[in-house]
Structure 1
């Protein structure tokens, strides 16, 4: 009987020591501060045991049997999410389980720049090594059809911003996110538009915002640039803005715009055609959207670069010609 009691005490002590060791291990960082993060992936449909083995096989210094046991004891074994992850220094096994339950995938990012064309946006996305390229080989028209059927041309329909995504995410996810954000920002700007702005639809405001984006040297001048073009629309003047001509030239533009280019008619030549061009010419940011819909209260009709990034604005042609002579000739 004494031997049985001693054996039972031994078993209890052993269990307590084991529990203490597991507890200590569960809260101990897997990687020390200063060590390099380790990327790993869990395949869809993986069991807890298989998930633990995949993590260890990726180079994470983790005992897969202990991790399997800890996950079972935590009651989270049915909630682990498949995907691509990154183990950062300081993360404990318990914190890793929480990361897998929450689906906190390894984050990548891509910056879409204000004023880029859709062509430049596609090139940046196509070149990103951590994106799954499902749209490679699609025409712009076919790509747009996978995102929306409300528009026929993709230019201007994607908001320039920095987008976060899980490694190996589909490029369509980024396009859809950027398109949804542009529609949201455009709707917000449209709801706050000044009375009497000369647009028949939010899309026309988007076209104007893209012109303002390409014409603006100083951010503080956006509203004055907007006033010039809005006033020209109201009075029936030609917009006569070089960025639209350049856009219409496409690959023919080699860095210089000549008089011949200004006189060659295209749907985007605002020197030969009245009103707005048929589509945006770039991806405008929030400030250009706001300026297009809330131009400065001014009678200005002309502007010319001073050569230092700022512009000289004029209400009439005589003053404008004097400014051109002063700053350009």
Structure 2
């Protein structure tokens, strides 16, 4: 089959044939804007396809003979895709296209050619030169006989090369991939696919990174057909491999919607939560229990120096109060709330904050062990046994056997004559002592507190300044001041008496302290009326009436004021002291003044 002609065959071609297609296929001259194949306009490659040499009709031959100019016009019109433009001049010459058409018997369809001359009724066709025409299916032999054009002939002939090429029997171009498709009958024609829209650089499209959900497409418009194949992938030769169906596309869009919904829900929930918390903090009341609590008791230890918020945290952790804010508010509303002392408290679980504050102010709730200033260790041991519900002597035995593991400083227990190595290191304070605790734990806490307090002073340097041997003697002086002084106002003068009597220049007592408190300590008593013969003749390192200087170790546990007085004594030359009424201490510098005060003391005792 040639490009524009029609070869013999069984396909119906005449309008009177019952299988003829649409009405536009008749022999009427095609309009200038209509495709020669009918249907959608044909889009051909930009390089024009030359018709085969043997298929040229009389009209094309005429256009050929009329010269290069007219042929150039025909070539220019060829790109417009109009049947008239293929005739070379005015659409003449092609049977079945621009020129007259014939039925199978050779009769002209319109009975006249385009020059107005009737066709031969015998069915013979002629070209414009009057030569018999073979119906457009000739081999081009007549044309070759009449117009022998040598290969690469006349250079002025623009068609010479093409004619020579056709004379060389070039193969039919319909066998190559670049050829135009042959015309088909209307009944077999199919509408050409819509051309793919050209995508610009600024339009990435869903397949270049933008999800269809955000691109605004729906399931029917997402570029995937019902069979799950991507038409663009098929056009690119990718086939169905890797293509995703509509169900998966919908699933992907659904997942995106779910993720976005979850994000929005989380944001709304977070905003609501923080908004509620802000409202509660600013305007709402703090969470709190109601009532006096359950029957379950719990011990809570409050450290020294704890503020209301720290106390509230301890109570909340133990399950006593519901919130710290509720306790702080209740403490501030109570006029005695700031008097809550550190120590151990026996409370109940799930108490209202107001009830917890009131109970902590009640001494009955305090499950503590209090070490008083000047208290001896033997008394402290008995108190620990009682607090921990232990047999009498249990804590004293632990102190004797385990004192080295309780955290004493290196300068402690420097003398083998020391009766109790822990004396002076059970620092006066309030300590938690619950029944679940062990004695060594309580003792270790007391020693630790003493180390903290003593570390506030450079006791080694103070000992050198005061003429003492070691820091332990400084603590010993503090214990003597604590034991002999009545009030804190007495402490500095009492420390001066100690240091003045220890001086080598002391010729009144000959460097003996002569303190009754040291004799009472070794005796384990607290007597005032002691016989002179008894006290001066009792041989013991702690008896300062018998031995010069300080006792081997402290005689009690001094407090902070006594320790301060020991490291910073009064500068007076005080040598003697006496308390006439038991409430006030009188200090003197000479023995004569002291004897006068002793006489007043004896007179007062006789009256009592």
TM-score interval, smaller chain: 0.5 to 0.7
- Of 30, 34, 38, the residue aligned with 2:296 is 38
Maintained 8 Å contact 1:107/1:167: no
Question: CA distance change for structure 1 residues 134 and 88 in 2, over 3 Å: closer, same or farther?
Answer: farther
Deviations 1:130-182 (A, max 9, x none): 78999557254203133146444221121011113566122222211111111
The answer (yes or no) to whether the contact 1:186–1:202 under 8 Å persists in 2 is: no
Which SS does the other structure have where 1:279 is aligned? Answer: coil
Distance change (3 Å), C-alpha of 1:168 and 1:278 = same
SS in 2 for 1:169: coil
1:284 to 542, 553, 558: 558
Q: Do the aligned partners of 1:301 and 1:316 also contact (CA within 8 Å) in 2?
A: yes
Distance 1:308 1:137, change over 3 A: closer
Q: Which of the two has greater helix per residue?
A: 1
- Show the counterpart of 2:484: 215
Match of 2:380 among 121, 124, 130: 121
Matches within 5 A, 1:1-329: 32-35=290-293, 38-39=296-297, 86-90=348-352, 108-129=367-388, 136=395, 138=397, 140-148=399-407, 150=410, 151-152=412-413, 153-164=421-432, 168-190=436-458, 193=462, 196-235=465-504, 236=506, 237-250=511-524, 256-263=529-536, 264-329=538-603
CA distance in 1, matches of 2:601, 2:479: 26
Contact 1:232 1:239 in 2 (8 A): yes
Larger of the two Rg values belongs to structure: 2
Distance 2:393 2:379 in 1: 17
Listed as ranges, the gaps of 5+ residues in structure 1 are 1-26, 42-59, 61-83, 92-105
In the TM superposition, what is the alpha-carbon distance from 1:87 to its structure 2 partner? 1.3
Q: Can you list the C-alpha shifts for 1:210-263, whole angstroms capped at 9, x where unaligned?
A: 111110112211111111111111245211100001112236x77742223312
* Contact 1:159-1:284 within 8 A present in 2 as well: yes
| 2:428 aligned counterpart, secondary structure | coil
Show the counterpart of 1:21. none
For the residues of structure 2 that align with 1:274 and 1:283, how far apart are their CA atoms?
22
After superposition, the CA RMSD in angstroms is 3.7
Q: How many residues align?
A: 251
Structure 1 residues 290 and 40, CA gap change in structure 2 (3 angstroms): closer
Relative to the length of structure 2, the TM-score reads 0.37
Q: 1:173 to 1:140 in 2, by over 3 A?
A: closer
Contact 2:492 2:570 in 1 (8 A): yes
Assess if the C-alpha contact under 8 Å between 2:381 and 2:395 holds in 1.
no
Q: Is the 8 A contact 1:132 1:169 kept in 2?
A: no
The structure that is strand-richer by fraction is 1
Please state whether the residue corresponding to 1:272 is helix, strand or coil: coil
Contact 1:116 1:283 in 2 (8 A): yes
Aligned partners of 2:493 and 2:382: how far apart in 1?
32
Q: Kindly state the Cα deviation for residue 306 of structure 1 after the two structures are TM-superposed.
A: 2.2
User: Whole-Å Cα distance in 2 between the matches of residues 200 and 179 of structure 1?
Assistant: 22
For 1:305 and 1:267, how far apart are their aligned partners in 2? Answer: 26
Contact 2:406 2:444 in 1 (8 A): yes
Higher relative contact order (CA 8 A, sep 6+): 1
> 1:108, 1:164 within 8 Å by CA — same for their partners in 2?
yes
Check the 8 A contact 1:131/1:168 in 2, yes or no. no
Query: How far apart, CA to CA, are the structure 2 residues paired with 1:143 and 1:260?
Result: 39
Counterpart Cα distance in 2 of 1:202 and 1:194:
6
The answer to whether the 8 A contact 2:519-2:543 is kept is yes
Q: Distance in 1 between matches of 2:552 and 2:565?
A: 20
SS at match of 1:247: helix
Q: Helix, strand or coil for the counterpart of 1:313?
A: strand
Q: 1:240 to 1:128 in 2, by over 3 A?
A: same
Give the gaps of 5 or more residues in structure 2: 1-285, 300-319, 321-345, 354-364, 414-420, 604-608
Q: Quote the residue 1:94 is aligned against.
A: none
